[in-house]
Chains A and B, each alone.
Chain A
Amino acid sequence: MRDRFGVSNRADFEKRWRRALHDGLVTDSAERVQTPSTGMGNLANAIRTIRVDGTPSEAALDVLFTGGRTFDGRYAGNAWLQELPDIGSMTTWDNPALISPGTAQKMGLVPGGDNPKHVYLREHTTGKMVRLNVGGRTLELPVWICPGLADDTVVLRLGYGRTRGGPVAEGSGFNTYELRSAGQYAAGGAEMERVPGDYWIASTQNHWSLEGRTEIVRRVELPAWQKYGDMRIEHTDEYELAQSDLNFAEQLGVVSHAPPNRAIYHNPFNKGDGDDAVGKTDAEPGSTYAQGPQWGMTIDMASCIGCGVCTIACQSENNIPVVGKQEVAKGREMTWIRVDRYFVGDDLNDPEEVLHQPVACVHCENAPCEVVCPVNATVHGPEGHNYMVYNRCIGTRYCANNCPYKVRRFNFFDYATKQLDGGLNAETSRATGGVFDDALPPNQHFIPPRLRSRLSEIEKMKHNPNVTVRSRGVMEKCTYCIQRTNNAKIETKLKGMESVPEGFVQTACQQACPTNSIVFGDILDPDSAVSKTRDSGRNYAVLGYLNTRPRTTHMMAVYNANPEILKAEDPEGRYKYLDWHPHDVKWVKKGLEPHYQHMDEHGGEHGEEPHASLGSSFIDLNRRDEDAGYALSLKVLKGAVAQGGLL
């Protein structure tokens, strides 16, 4: 306290205290802005200490000790972290030893079968148990495959297998500390032998490969970005009567070479009162979409590190339940934002790279989920949200089937009332396996309230009171933290302000993201951060060719690999796109040959002024009079009049 007030004795403190009371703040107590410096040399030295001399072999494996989601084990009692998929291997609730597919095949340790690609084609994905011997210490634990690891290397995660950590921690994972000597991060000469038995592993992502679907996750190398980043290609398809004006990232997607998908239903929020729009990428004046705030988000995959904090923040903010290992294995984890992880390439043993992408509900303007809900439980809001109305939902799950991003989560059981509560109630906390929750009565709705045993008060405190707790049978998904945006609107209105100031409201995921990859705000405000990120040439809509018109768009990653590495890994330069030219692109990924019928001179050159302020658009010329905002996403013109010509 004294340090905080900057005083050393009581008399000074009294003075400062009264001053602070008068002023309402303690002056000079703000944290000073610091410019951290990274001692790269020190870092390199530290990394160098983690080394094992010599080459590993099947008989003398290299072992690496790392922290997992539970850090060093202190968070093993935290069910959120137990259920957060491990980076890379996407396992939950356990810490199997990770080995490369090649090693697994060599040593007959492929989980469940003989083809690493088919590990997940089983109802109970199981890893084979092994006895690992590191420097004379042994432990029996399961192995799991992680593509991209070096052969003959084992990665162990610490922090699991606790014996006295509460019901959530106990029974989950294996205590790899038993293999480690103090301060050790790497060891050599380890031996691994198969012991009978299989261990059931629950992982959230069941497929490793991106399957060549660069439509979903796009990335380029820095030289290509430098060359083409500002490019916008205008293209008119006379046959399909469509006109497109796409930035670089969008050119890499299906929308640049596919016939337009036309919506049957006009978007009622885009219908205005006037007959000409300022520009076809704008909302029709007078329409709902032309009035702020219109929420939108960009997720920058260049700065995203795939840490998963967004998942936890969202879970905390929105009372998202933890479902337990058995349900995770059935694909029923409930988190609204997830980080997908893909290995790119044909050879699992030597993937070309690992890509990751956070995906949450993208709040499509032409949401496929809204059309198909029979009871109108998911409808569109005037600010661009796709609403999920829990009390109307009867749980037909058609919306989830129709969502191309698969972001909807269904409450298959009463997860919310039967959560693992961090060990406070021993009967209800089950970390691993077993039948899902025998202890509690099946459905509290069937028990009269007066007889219903009340949840303990402490359990209730962990919930966010601003957000409903969903019962079983109800669908849920990302809401753009509507409780926060609505609260922000209320507060600003109470203060008599016209609109929510930029930065006043943050979604939980945005707030928690350590690299500020998530940017959320009012896209109609030309000064908002999100408007600026949306104008970037890296911005594209995942599966945008479906004409879903998502409000959350992703920004393509631009990698700056060491040219030596790049040459070694990609000798043909497939990923460099340096020779990429719309006319004769050498597209070697599976089946993604674009065809350009007609190109104008913009292709490949960006001679004139940057088009940065113009939104990308893909216009259906048949409908241009009806549906003014037929754009990939709603964009804002910065004062420029729309292009003439074909519009």
Chain B
Amino acid sequence: MSHLPPDQLTSERLAGRAPDASDWTPEPGSGDGSLTEDPSYRAPLVLNNRSVHEITEIVCGYAEKSPGRWWLPLFGMAASIAGLGQIMILYLIITGVGVWGLTNQVDWAWDITNFVFWIGIGHAGTLISAILCLFKQQWRTAVNRSAEAMTIFAVVCAGIFPGIHVGRAWMAWFLAPVPNSNWIWPNFRSPLLWDVFAVSTYATVSLLFWFMGMIPDLATLRDRADLRLRQNPHQARLPFTPFKPDMLRVYIYGLLSFGWRNSSRHWMRYEKAYILLAGLSTPLVLSVHSIVSFDFATSILPGWHTTIFPPYFVAGAVFGGFAMVLFLLIPARELFPNMKDLLTLRHLENMAKIILVTGMLVGFAYAMEFFIAWYGGNDFEYAVFAYNRALPLWLHEDGAPYWWAYWTMIICNVFSPQVFWVKSLRRNPVVIWIVALLVTIGMWFERFVIIVTSLHRAFIPGEWHMFYPTWVDILTFVGSCGIFLTLFLLFLRFLPIFPIAEIKAILPEADPHGHGDHGHGHGHNQAHGPGAGGVGHGASAIDSADPDAPTQGEGH
């Protein structure tokens, strides 16, 4: 039956003549059905044989129905943490940078660590959206919307830190090339200024990409709300307001969807714009974090001054970004109904593989840094690696006071993803989640190690000084995590967290070449109805039991 056109399949299902999704059983040995080992056919990206209508119902349901009792308390907690972070920022700006633990010797610590950490996290979304799109990886559709949202929110959190870490935040506008009373341009040779342009470009392009991609889905939400409103004009209004919830949805989603009316002209422009933005975002994946790495690489400080930073940071950003995507989506998968059909184990396994690859790139970079520091013969450089980072203080009295940060980084970033070599482990969501958490922690420590261990013992031993964070440092970072989580929870609640249109486009139903042509493994058994158990490989002409067989060639 799977060769029916999508709308017919849905109506057949509604009429009871085609099997429901619940009748679908996964192929044995393929986990949830997506982890097939059979190379002859492409495993389903959406499980349970969902029809296009079901996709719409599922995803719009997330935005329309209440997500469950977990959402509100979690949101409340995240919002209060975010509020705490904002109070810390206010305290910082009113009182002075001295409320952080910075010294004249270690002038950057948690502030820039957090900045680079959040920017790095954003890179997963861009890579998924842009590069995987250009590589025509269909599995990206399950994660690209949430990952792009995470990019936006991560850039928001990242952008806070350069703004507040300056000594005179009320004059931060000096960074912009706008006329000022001194008639001075900013310094275009400074990597911090390149950051300003890179991060704002990144934010703009990511926002456009994410928003534009959502327009058809927002229109769907608008139309469904409109339909519901027409069918039931006597909906209950929200408490203490004159608004019916669907009325709000119509107006807000309507505003956001820019008048989308599902016409083919709109779709054509949408597809073009999508490809253009994907192409625009692709260089951003590489350039943004390279420029952020230039903050360090172009300085002369040993431990910072190394040409490996641009590729190392980009790999690390993808690494950390995917870890954050997994960290948030694996619990979401459990909490939201039917999400496991859309975000299958195969998606998780693919992302785990990316984590393994980028983790090894990052591990290679660590090893190369160390090797070159030794091979290069520069004492100052070697001292940073051997005596500021690697040699534990308990092992040798000249060792590193921050050895624990360095080894946390190594264990979390280099060793923990190695479990993904074991197939069963990289297909286990719990294991993946734990590794993702460890990697997120490890990536924060990587930036901390780079910044603080290089600064606290630099060239002149007379200016060696430890750095200790104050509670304002810590709470500001925790607050930024709260801001990120708050925004992400709002996204989960109100916006289409899957790209409905794109997922529909990768369903078997949407394939214009029909199902008879490409791999017909056992996965297609189930769609052929209860009486067609013996369908194997080959042409659908074998489906003699299927009354619809002659119509196979049409309607696609």
User: Which residues of A are interface residues toward B (Cβ below 8 A)?
Assistant: 115, 117-118, 120-123, 205-207, 209-213, 215-216, 254, 258, 265, 327, 330-333, 338, 340-342, 357, 359, 368, 371-376, 391-398, 400-402, 404-406, 408-414, 436, 442-443, 446, 471-475, 543, 546, 590-592
| Cβ–Cβ < 8 Å partners of B383 in chain A | 211
Contact with B172, one of A215, A216, A394 (Cβ below 8 angstroms)? A394
* Extra inter-chain contacts (5) besides given A406-B460, A472-B168, CB under 8 Å: A121-B466, A327-B98, A371-B189, A392-B182, A401-B455
| Cβ–Cβ < 8 Å partners of A338 in chain B | 462
Indicate if the CB atoms of B98 and A404 lie closer than 8 Å. Answer: no
Contact A374/B168 with A401-B107, A402-B299 known, Cβ cut-off 8 Å? no
| Cβ–Cβ < 8 Å partners of A402 in chain B | 299-301
Q: How far is the CB of B82 from chain A (nearest CB, A)?
A: 24
| Cβ–Cβ < 8 Å partners of A590 in chain B | 379
Stretch at the interface among B191-199, B210-218, B479-487: B191-199
| Cβ–Cβ < 8 Å partners of B101 in chain A | 330
Report the bound CA distance from A412 to B166 in whole Å. 10
Closest 8 CB pairs of A and B: A395-B167, A473-B167, A340-B462, A412-B98, A331-B103, A473-B168, A397-B107, A406-B463
Stretch at the interface among B36-44, B89-97, B130-138, B232-240: B89-97
Contact A373/B464 with A117-B398, A368-B300, A395-B166 known, Cβ cut-off 8 Å? no
| Cβ–Cβ < 8 Å partners of B418 in chain A | none
Indicate if the CB atoms of A442 and B187 lie closer than 8 Å. Answer: no
| Cβ–Cβ < 8 Å partners of A443 in chain B | 94-96
Contact A332/B98 with A122-B466, A397-B107, A409-B104 known, Cβ cut-off 8 Å? yes
Indicate if the CB atoms of A375 and B184 lie closer than 8 Å. Answer: yes
| Cβ–Cβ < 8 Å partners of B196 in chain A | 374
A-B contact count (CB 8 A): 200
Q: Mark B463-495, 1 if CB is under 8 A from A, else 0.
A: 111101000000000000000000000000000
| Cβ–Cβ < 8 Å partners of B464 in chain A | 120, 206-207
Indicate if the CB atoms of A211 and B461 lie closer than 8 Å. Answer: yes
Is B276's CB within 8 Å of the partner chain A? no
- B86-126 residues with Cβ-Cβ distance < 8 A to A are 94-98, 101-108
Indicate if the CB atoms of B167 and A393 lie closer than 8 Å. Answer: yes
Contact with A404, one of B167, B169, B298, B459 (Cβ below 8 angstroms)? B459
Q: Mark B418-462, 1 if CB is under 8 A from A, else 0.
A: 000000000000000000000000000000000000010111111
Report the bound CA distance from A438 to B342 in whole Å. 58
Contact A332/B103 with A394-B167, A401-B299, A404-B458 known, Cβ cut-off 8 Å? yes
Contact A216/B460 with A375-B174, A376-B185 known, Cβ cut-off 8 Å? yes
| Cβ–Cβ < 8 Å partners of B298 in chain A | 371-372
Indicate if the CB atoms of B95 and A120 lie closer than 8 Å. Answer: no
Contact with A123, one of B102, B186, B463, B468 (Cβ below 8 angstroms)? B468
Report the bound CA distance from A205 to B463 in whole Å. 6
Indicate if the CB atoms of A401 and B108 lie closer than 8 Å. Answer: yes
Q: Which of B104, B190, B301, B465 has the most CB of A within 10 A?
A: B104
Indicate if the CB atoms of A376 and B460 lie closer than 8 Å. Answer: no
| Cβ–Cβ < 8 Å partners of A394 in chain B | 166-169, 171-172, 174-175
Q: How far is the CB of A330 from chain B (nearest CB, A)?
A: 6
Contact A373/B187 with A342-B461, A402-B299 known, Cβ cut-off 8 Å? yes
Indicate if the CB atoms of B94 and A398 lie closer than 8 Å. Answer: no
Report the bound CA distance from A436 to B97 in whole Å. 13
* Selected A-B contacts with CB under 8 Å, 19 pairs: A115-B397, A121-B393, A205-B463, A207-B461, A213-B380, A213-B461, A331-B103, A331-B104, A338-B462, A371-B190, A374-B190, A396-B165, A397-B107, A410-B97, A412-B97, A412-B167, A443-B94, A443-B95, A473-B96
| Cβ–Cβ < 8 Å partners of B62 in chain A | none
Q: How far is the CB of A203 from chain B (nearest CB, A)?
A: 10
Is B407's CB within 8 Å of the partner chain A? no
Indicate if the CB atoms of B104 and A359 lie closer than 8 Å. Answer: no
| Cβ–Cβ < 8 Å partners of A121 in chain B | 393, 401, 466
Is B209's CB within 8 Å of the partner chain A? no
Report the bound CA distance from A368 to B296 in whole Å. 12
Specify the chain A residue showing the minimal Cβ separation from B187: A376
Contact A405/B459 with A213-B379, A376-B184, A395-B97 known, Cβ cut-off 8 Å? yes
Is B153's CB within 8 Å of the partner chain A? no
Indicate if the CB atoms of A412 and B175 lie closer than 8 Å. Answer: no
Report the bound CA distance from A544 to B482 in whole Å. 47
Q: Which of A118, A254, A396, A410 has the most CB of B within 10 A?
A: A396
Contact A374/B175 with A123-B468, A216-B459, A342-B461 known, Cβ cut-off 8 Å? yes
| Cβ–Cβ < 8 Å partners of B463 in chain A | 205, 340, 406
Specify the chain A residue showing the minimal Cβ separation from B107: A397
Q: How far is the CB of A31 from chain B (nearest CB, A)?
A: 39
| Cβ–Cβ < 8 Å partners of A393 in chain B | 167-168
User: Which residues of B are interface residues toward A (Cβ below 8 A)?
Assistant: 94-98, 101-108, 162, 165-169, 171-172, 174-175, 182, 184-187, 189-193, 196, 295, 298-301, 377-380, 382-383, 393, 397-398, 401, 455, 457-466, 468
| Cβ–Cβ < 8 Å partners of A332 in chain B | 98, 103-104
| Cβ–Cβ < 8 Å partners of B379 in chain A | 212-213, 215, 254, 590-592
| Cβ–Cβ < 8 Å partners of B299 in chain A | 368, 372, 398, 401-402
Contact with B466, one of A123, A398, A408 (Cβ below 8 angstroms)? A123
Specify the chain A residue showing the minimal Cβ separation from B173: A394
Contact A413/B187 with A359-B462, A374-B192 known, Cβ cut-off 8 Å? no
Q: How far is the CB of A371 from chain B (nearest CB, A)?
A: 5
Q: How far is the CB of A338 from chain B (nearest CB, A)?
A: 8
Indicate if the CB atoms of B459 and A372 lie closer than 8 Å. Answer: no
Q: Which of A207, A332, A473 has the most CB of B within 10 A?
A: A473
Indicate if the CB atoms of B462 and A472 lie closer than 8 Å. Answer: no
Report the bound CA distance from A200 to B127 in whole Å. 51
Indicate if the CB atoms of A436 and B300 lie closer than 8 Å. Answer: no
Q: How far is the CB of A603 from chain B (nearest CB, A)?
A: 22
| Cβ–Cβ < 8 Å partners of A410 in chain B | 97, 102, 104, 107, 167
Contact with A206, one of B174, B380, B397, B465 (Cβ below 8 angstroms)? B465
| Cβ–Cβ < 8 Å partners of A475 in chain B | 167
Contact with A120, one of B166, B192, B466 (Cβ below 8 angstroms)? B466
Specify the chain A residue showing the minimal Cβ separation from B398: A117
Indicate if the CB atoms of A341 and B184 lie closer than 8 Å. Answer: no
Report the bound CA distance from A404 to B304 in whole Å. 12
Q: How far is the CB of A590 from chain B (nearest CB, A)?
A: 7
Report the bound CA distance from A206 to B461 in whole Å. 8
Report the bound CA distance from A581 to B101 in whole Å. 48
Indicate if the CB atoms of A413 and B98 lie closer than 8 Å. Answer: yes
Specify the chain B residue showing the minimal Cβ separation from A258: B378
Report the bound CA distance from A478 to B301 in whole Å. 21
Indicate if the CB atoms of B97 and A209 lie closer than 8 Å. Answer: no
Q: How far is the CB of A88 from chain B (nearest CB, A)?
A: 13
Contact A392/B167 with A376-B187, A405-B459 known, Cβ cut-off 8 Å? no
Indicate if the CB atoms of A375 and B186 lie closer than 8 Å. Answer: yes
Indicate if the CB atoms of B104 and A374 lie closer than 8 Å. Answer: no
Contact A209/B192 with A123-B466, A394-B166, A394-B171 known, Cβ cut-off 8 Å? no
Q: How far is the CB of B299 from chain A (nearest CB, A)?
A: 5
Q: Which of B190, B383, B397 has the most CB of A within 10 A?
A: B190
Report the bound CA distance from A474 to B106 in whole Å. 16
Q: How far is the CB of B373 from chain A (nearest CB, A)?
A: 12
Contact with B108, one of A391, A397, A406, A411 (Cβ below 8 angstroms)? A397
Indicate if the CB atoms of B462 and A404 lie closer than 8 Å. Answer: no
Contact with B168, one of A340, A373, A395, A405 (Cβ below 8 angstroms)? A395
| Cβ–Cβ < 8 Å partners of A331 in chain B | 103-106, 465
Indicate if the CB atoms of B186 and A374 lie closer than 8 Å. Answer: yes
Indicate if the CB atoms of A543 and B168 lie closer than 8 Å. Answer: no
Report the bound CA distance from A257 to B295 in whole Å. 29
| Cβ–Cβ < 8 Å partners of B166 in chain A | 394-396, 473
Q: How far is the CB of A311 from chain B (nearest CB, A)?
A: 13
Indicate if the CB atoms of B192 and A398 lie closer than 8 Å. Answer: yes
Q: How far is the CB of A344 from chain B (nearest CB, A)?
A: 11
Specify the chain A residue showing the minimal Cβ separation from B195: A374
